[in-house]
A and B are shown apart, each in its own frame.
Chain A
Amino acid sequence: MERIKRILVSDGFNNAMSSIFAILIGLLFGFIILLISNPSQAVEGLGIILKGGFSAEGKGMGQVLYFATPLILTGLSVGFAFKTGLFNIGAAGQFIMGAFAAIYVGVHWTFLPAPLHWIAALLAAAVVGGLWALIPGLMKAYLNVNEVISTIMMNYIGMYMANYLVKLTVYDRLRAQSLDVANTCVLPKMGLDHIFYNSLGGGKDLSTVNCGIYIAVIIAIVIYILLNKTTFGYELKACGYNADASRYAGINEKRNVVLSMVIAGALSGLGGGLLYLSGAGGRHIKVVDVLASEGFNGIPVALLGLSNPIGIIFSGIFISYITEGGNYLQSLNYAPEIIQMIIACIIYFSAFALILRKIIPGILKRRAENKKGGEK
């Protein structure tokens, strides 16, 4: 009994519990909207959402991982900034600028051989994403401009800038989207093509998933180590918790604010690169005036993962899974807009995990106290 109680009040358990609880609340709200819009198919619809990528077997699960990759990166971007006391709302702009950089390198730098080519493209994505966040970082550190406002502004500048640059340099007029990157710049499958496919007669219907998911997981682990094991992470977190005391201790807090933002931006930019370097069957930049949803979804991913890099891997995969499930809802009688709403509801309610994280331990503790009071 004692042991169970100790687990119940431990931090790790509470973190996991609050995330799971939040997901359940999110699903409940999703179900309510399903009921309102089409009661007769609501239960079946919820089943499809819960089945997620599995609805389309191996390929479906591959797609879940493919779309989880950028979400993990933007989630890391938001979560990392948050751990260091900054709100990076600019993942969308950093993401799309990084994506453009990767595509540009992928289309034009064909002189590079295979592994070097995609590596260079990913590096370009990270660098450009980082530069895009450098501006709000500098403004925050030296002019005390709130980073929430400046990163939101940079989102729009980034979106229009990417549209303009795509049209100027890597535009496919026939399909009104960015050109396919060179084959040497498509991320290799690294064995994933043997797992995530659907049999189609004699051949394989391959999923788009590639080694990007490996890279995302590795980056998450690197960020975890950086934050928790290194002097650099110690400084960054110190600045996030208490900038005054950090300054008092001789930490250059202005430099750290800038570096935090640059790293966060590089993560988002890399996410853009990983999503778009996927050959003809994968995603292309469509020149439309819409902010990249992967950028904003980084916020719920980070919240649901409680800004823990390892947690973010799972929350990224979960949100991608639910989104894929939503796509298969079209087989029922639901309007695409309703599907979007349902998925958004599930995602955003799940993001309340952060709030619940604060409430649940309090409730458990109070209950324990009451019980003790009753026993006396």
Chain B
Amino acid sequence: MEYIIEMLNITKEFPGIIANDDITLQLKKGEIHALLGENGAGKSTLMSVLFGMYQPEKGVIKKNGQEVKINDPNDANALGIGMVHQHFKLVHNFTVLQNIILGVETTKNGILKMGEAREKIIALSEKYGLMVDPEAKVEDITVGMQQRVEILKMLYRDNEILIFDEPTAVLTPQEIEELMKIMKGLAAEGKSILFITHKLNEIKAVANRCTVLRKGKYIGTIDVASTSKEEMSEMMVGRKVDLTVQKKPIEPGNVVLEVKNMIVKSKHHSKNAVNNVSFQVRKGEIVCIAGIDGNGQSELVYGLTGLSQVESGEIFINGQNITKESIRKRNLDGLSHIPEDRHKDGLILDYNLTENLILKNYFKPGFQKGSFINFKKSREYAEKLIEQFDIRSGQGTKTMVRSMSGGNQQKAIIARELDLDPEILIAVQPTRGLDVGAIEYIHKQLIEKRDEGKAVLLVSLELDEVMNVSDRILVIYEGELVADVDPKEITMNELGLYMAGSKRNEVTA
């Protein structure tokens, strides 16, 4: 069998951790090969080795059977390896064309010759069904289209081996479907694709074979068609995983959070980001705010948590008006918040794990005495949470949070917020970028809180999550609530129509 790229027995160590332990990955020409693993399983490290950003301690990389040495990303490019990063590397105020040729400009006597490049791009775009306008500015096009620009960048450089790093995390369901089609088209044209993902559905949909990593170790390479999703998730997590969310029916109790006619001004345009929104969340209920990204979800949450000013309207927790209260007061009143952007809002990356876990507690008796922080108690508390929530890190309580994997950073936030024992938990995209095991875990935690009779407000962009976890769905479109529906009585398609604004109900709180 002909392999286009082989990574044989790769071992890469970092201080205190073996990120890749004797891992072998073989990519056939023209196949879509999925790389599956939990956060911190070593997928990114392995790809960084292939891309020349790290040098492995052991192991060899072969291209077409020839041993090659990849010292930096330029070497990788020369070997025809291209990568679509999770966060796109595009210049926003450049056109699509300018972005694609950036770094490999065709010039004549120092003057740019765009004509040739444009023709090549249009040809490529048609050949692979990418539908990109070369003259559009990147900042004006959708996320899905930006991703196609990234794909074109690789094709323009005649890359043979295409790495997709969690490409679907930022896309809407329709865009995901389109991407899958494009990937199949690329493979059919002889490109070889490495597809990094957590999502088993997508692997099932497009991949031929799948290599599974777990905690830095190679678990196996399987044929996707003959392996069930359950088997794959078991290989990845190391135990049986329940892919469906188990919930017992529960009767919601008193109203915990009530929002009346809330208006939040937008920072970017003159329209209101949140326009006259009213709703309630009751005890023992998970209410989900569904919608396409950028329809006012973030502003709604910022208004509720006090991170931004509410223009008008009122917010009540257990009947108490908190509209004008400080953030600290709201937290003490029983509001917990798992923020959307964990690096910006949720964590102090240059503090260690202990210091981050006490971020909302440090001023309470027990953690401080006479204004002096009790570091011993804090450490014990952190150890308890680390144990309880299985937060994994290199150096335990002393680990700088910046050095932890995304999933474990998120676990740290969840541990901190849930341990506050909130009346109302506001969770914004709590599973973004996380793997099956962690998602299952977070969903369980949310449902546990609900079963304890707490109120949960979940903001999510993932339709699966919206449908499976919530007891009630509120759809937000352009800052207004356009539907209040029961997940058991609505189809995904119908929900999609509400989200796209082509259908609406009057919502009355």
Contacts and interface: CB of A to CB of B under 8 A. Distances in A.
Interaction A to B: yes
A373 B360 contact: no
B334 interface: no
B359 A369 contact: no
B337 A248 contact: yes
Given A241-B350, A250-B331, A234 B307 contact: no
A245 B327 contact: no
B351 A241 contact: yes
A242 B348 contact: yes
B327 A242 contact: no
- Among B329, B331, B360, B371, the most chain A Cβ lie within 10 Å of the Cβ of B371
B88 interface: no
Interface string B363-399: 1000010011101000000000000000000000000
A284 B371 CA distance: 40
Nearest to B360: A249
A229 B339 contact: no
Given A229-B373, A250-B326, A376-B57, A245 B363 contact: no
A373 B59 CA distance: 11
Nearest to B368: A231
A373 B363 CA distance: 48
Contacts of B15: 9
B346 A248 contact: yes
Given A249-B360, A250-B331, A373-B55, A232 B371 contact: yes
Interface residues of A, number: 23
B55 A369 contact: yes
- Residue among A9, A234, A373 having the largest count of chain B Cβ atoms under 10 Å: A234
A230 B344 contact: no
A250 B420 CA distance: 14
A247 to B, nearest CB: 7
B55 A242 contact: no
Contact of A244 (B345, B351, B360): B345
Contacts of B351: 237-238, 241
A245 B348 contact: yes
Contact of A372 (B57, B347, B360, B368): B57
A246 to B, nearest CB: 7
Contacts of B368: 231
B146 to A, nearest CB: 25
A245 B347 contact: yes
Contact of A250 (B328, B372, B375): B328
Contacts of B339: 248
A108 B348 CA distance: 49
A229 B327 contact: no
B355 interface: yes
A248 B337 CA distance: 9
Contact of A231 (B58, B328, B348, B362): B362
B362 A234 contact: yes
B170 interface: no
Interface in A199-258: 229-232, 234, 237-238, 241-242, 244-252
B241 interface: no
Please classify the interface of chain A as helix (H, G, I), strand (E, B), loop, or mixed, using the class held by over half of its residues.
helix
B336 to A, nearest CB: 11
B349 interface: yes
Nearest to B364: A231
Nearest to B356: A245
A211 to B, nearest CB: 27
Given A231-B373, A248-B337, A238 B348 contact: yes
Contact of A230 (B326, B331, B372): B372
Contacts of B375: 229
Contacts of A229: 372-373, 375
Contact of B363 (A231, A242, A244, A372): A231
A249 B359 contact: yes
Contact of B345 (A238, A245, A373): A245
Contacts of A245: 344-348, 359
A244 B362 contact: no
B338 to A, nearest CB: 11
Of the listed residues A241, A245, A369, A372, the one surrounded by the most CB atoms of chain B closer than 10 A to its CB is A245
Contacts of A241: 348-351
Interface in A44-84: none
B60 to A, nearest CB: 12
A369 B55 CA distance: 9
Contacts of A232: 371
A10 to B, nearest CB: 12
Contacts of B337: 248
Contacts of A246: 348
A234 B378 CA distance: 13
A6 to B, nearest CB: 10
Contacts of B57: 372-373, 376
A247 B363 contact: no
Given A242-B348, A372-B57, A376-B57, A248 B373 contact: no
Interface string B399-434: 000000000000000000000000000000000000
Contacts of A231: 362-363, 368, 371-373
Given A230-B371, A230-B373, A241-B351, A248 B363 contact: no
B56 to A, nearest CB: 9
Contacts of B330: 250
A238 B355 CA distance: 9
A252 B15 CA distance: 37
A9 B15 CA distance: 11
Contacts of B350: 241-242
Contacts of A250: 326-331, 360
Interface in A252-309: 252
Interface in B17-70: 55, 57-58
Given A238-B348, A241-B350, A376-B57, A248 B327 contact: yes
B281 to A, nearest CB: 20
Contact of A234 (B328, B329, B331, B373): B373
Nearest to A368: B15
Closest 10 CB pairs of A and B: A250-B328, A250-B327, A248-B345, A249-B359, A241-B350, A242-B348, A231-B368, A241-B348, A244-B344, A250-B331
18 contacts: A229-B372, A229-B373, A231-B363, A231-B372, A231-B373, A241-B348, A242-B347, A242-B348, A242-B350, A244-B344, A245-B348, A245-B359, A248-B345, A248-B346, A250-B331, A252-B326, A252-B328, A373-B57
Given A231-B363, A250-B330, A252-B328, 12 more contacts: A229-B375, A230-B373, A248-B307, A249-B331, A249-B360, A250-B326, A250-B327, A250-B329, A250-B331, A250-B360, A251-B328, A376-B57
